Structures are given as C-alpha cells and as structure tokens.
Amino acid sequence: MRILYIDDIRYPERWHQEGMDNVITVVRTYKEAIELLNNRYDVIDLDNDLGEEKEGYDIAKYMVENNIEIPYIYIHTMNPVARKNMVQLFERYFNSEIIVY
C-alpha cells in the first residue's frame, strides 16, 4: 500500500509491521502534505496539531475542496475537537473507511 503519514513528531510505526509491503511517505507540514496529495495514495494517516498555523484539519478541508478522496483515512490526533471535526468532514463528503486510533 502507498501511505501518506502526516505528523510533525511521530513516526509511522504501525505501518512497519513484518510482512507488510508498504511504501510510506512521511511529511511534517501542511505545505508538504498539499504538495503530495495529488499523488495516488491508498491510505492517509493524519495528525491535527502540526506545530504551525495550518493543521491537519486544514489538510482535511483541502482534500474535500479538491475532491481528493483516499480509500482509507486514519486519524491519530490526540486533539478531541479536531478529531471529531475531521471525522465529521470526511464522513459527510467521502465514502472512505475512517479509522480513529
């Protein structure tokens, strides 16, 4: 699977399991994510708090505004308000499978 992992600090340990053949792209900022979103990914694994003005929720809004639907959306933010907002946004506009962890 092709995975876009967005987090300013953490690394994508869950995607490095033995026997999984994944291509993981790690990005740390909103700008990096936006530049790569037009590539074809099977999974986006998204944090909200990126330590800058633009956050994960802004990435989610960009995806909706530009109709960039990814089949599997993982949300791993510890921010409960942002998590709820991202889930509601994706559920309203996409048919993706949404996994919160």
pLDDT in tens, 23-54: 999 999 999 999 999 999 999 999 999 999 99
Our CA dihedral for 48, 66, 33, 38, rounded to 10 degrees, sits at 150
List the domain range (segments joined by +) for residue 6.
2-100
- In angstroms, rounded to a whole number, what is the distance separating the alpha carbons of residues 69 and 5? 15
Report the CATH number that the domain containing residue 38 is assigned in CATH.
3.40.50.2300
Strands (E), 42-101: 43-46, 72-75, 97-100
What's the number of domains the chain is made of? Answer: 1
Q: What is the pTM of this model?
A: 0.94
pLDDT digits (tens, 9 = 90+) for 4-28: 999 999 999 888 776 678 999 999 9
- In angstroms, rounded to a whole number, what is the distance separating the alpha carbons of residues 95 and 14? 23
What residues contact residue 65 under an 8 Å CB cut-off, 6+ apart? none
